[in-house]
Amino acid sequence: MTPEGYAVNWTAVALAFVVGVAAMGAMLAASALLSPRRPSEAKAVAYESGIPPTPLNWTQFNVRYYIYAILFLIFDVEAVFLFPWALVFADAGIPGYVFYAMMLFIAVLLLGVAYAWRKGALRWK
């Protein structure tokens, strides 16, 4: 490709960028100009699941909530990898080492669950 072709391509990119930024600015400006403004004390209060806020701003959470959340994320990510793998593996031309690689992946996850179980992380007190 000639240098002139590069200039044409980058000119199109720059033009698209400028148009995009201008469109975003126009939408933000229109929103700021056209939106209704009716401030009230009730609207200024932080909303938390319909419960009025308490004077205490800091609350201590049990670490078990975080452990369960992390374990959920680990197995959720496992499912994201496992389902597409199962669909592709169903195709006939997959080599055998792919199966063993996935079994190793699942074994590592099961070792993680066994470790968490043994340490008592899954026991709710």
Looking at the domain assignment, is residue 53 inside a domain?
no
Q: Supply the range of the domain harboring residue 86.
A: 63-119
Cα 31 to chain centroid distance, Å, stands at: 28
Tokens of 2: 């000639």
Cα distance between residue 44 and residue 37, in whole Å: 13
Which pLDDT score, from 0 to 100, does residue 117 have? Answer: 84
Looking at the domain assignment, is residue 49 inside a domain?
no
* Under 8 Å between Cβ of 85 and 106: no
Do residues 74 and 111 both lie within one domain? yes
Do residues 29 and 75 both lie within one domain? no
pLDDT, tens digit, for every residue of 58-74? 777 777 788 888 888 88
Across the chain, mean pLDDT equals 81
pLDDT, tens digit, for every residue of 77-111? 888 878 777 777 766 566 677 778 888 888 988 89
Do residues 76 and 29 both lie within one domain? no
Looking at the domain assignment, is residue 95 inside a domain?
yes
* Under 8 Å between Cβ of 75 and 109: yes
The angle, 0 to 180 degrees and rounded to 10, between the axes of the packed helices 96-119 and 63-89 is 170
Do residues 19 and 67 both lie within one domain? no
Tokens of 60: 């201590």
